[in-house]
Amino acid sequence: MIYALISDVHGNLEALTAVMDDIKKHGAIDGIFFLGDAVGYGANPNEVLQIINATCDVKLMGNHDYSALGLLDPADFNVYAQSGISFSVSVLTPQSQEILSSFRLIDRVGESLLVHATPDAPESWNYCLSTAEANRQFDSVGQPRDGDPRACYAIHDTISQRLEYRRLSYDIEAAQHKMRAVDLPAFLIERLTEGR
């Protein structure tokens, strides 16, 4: 089976649209797995949730989603993330809240364990910051932060055990314009061009 893995869209409709268009062109995808953080930072959380709900076979909740539902104190985030979550909460429709509430913390597909956070305590939203911690965790993968501003997703072939990262250009300026229009912090807007 061949699956597309997407994560950390954070309300960025332009990036999500580019990724979904590329997935459609790929043709040999058996399913799309969303691994969390549909909301926060970007200007289009409702539209992003509609697309994820309509196209993804697995829908996981991320820490920003959890906070937007009132299940995690926004004070646990930095000031910029708090702004993004606050904006998302202010515009989420009842239908979007219902969609987001249906997302799971953890899921299994075949032999694959899917989670946004650590598998041992997904609701604690711990970060895996070392190889040793990743190894320990896996005994029991909209917003790139690696310096490349292009949208990124992965395709996993479960037969060959091959994982391919795909990078796509998208209309960053349009996403930034929308963010300015709803008064999101300049830091969040500018970092889209830096991939941070």
pLDDT tens, position by position, 43-62:
999 999 999 999 999 999 99
CA 177/CA 182 separation, integer angstroms: 9
**pLDDT one-digit tens code per residue, 5-28:** 999 999 999 999 999 999 999 888
Decide if 169 contacts 14 (C-beta within 8 A). no
User: Domains in the chain and their CATH numbers?
Assistant: 2-191 (3.60.21.10)
pTM score, whole prediction: 0.92
Q: 11, 2, 36, 61: which is closest to 175 by C-alpha?
A: 11
Q: How far apart are CA 52 and CA 96, in angstroms?
A: 11
For the record, the structure tokens of 182 come out as 């709803």
Mean pLDDT of the chain: 92
Largest CA distance in the chain: 46
- The whole-number pLDDT of residue 196 equals 76
Spacing of C-alpha 9 from chain mean position: 4
Model confidence at 141, pLDDT cuts 50, 70, 90, reads: very low
Higher confidence at residue 35 or residue 136? 35
State whether residue 61 is helix, strand or coil. Answer: coil
Distance of alpha carbon 160 from alpha carbon 4, whole angstroms: 15
User: pLDDT higher for 126 or 38?
Assistant: 38
| CB-based contact 10:143 (threshold 8 Å) | yes
Structure tokens at 176: 């930034």
- Residues with Cβ within 8 Å of residue 44, at least 6 apart in sequence: 11, 12, 13, 178
> In this structure, are strands 151-157 and 2-6 parallel, antiparallel, or unpaired?
antiparallel
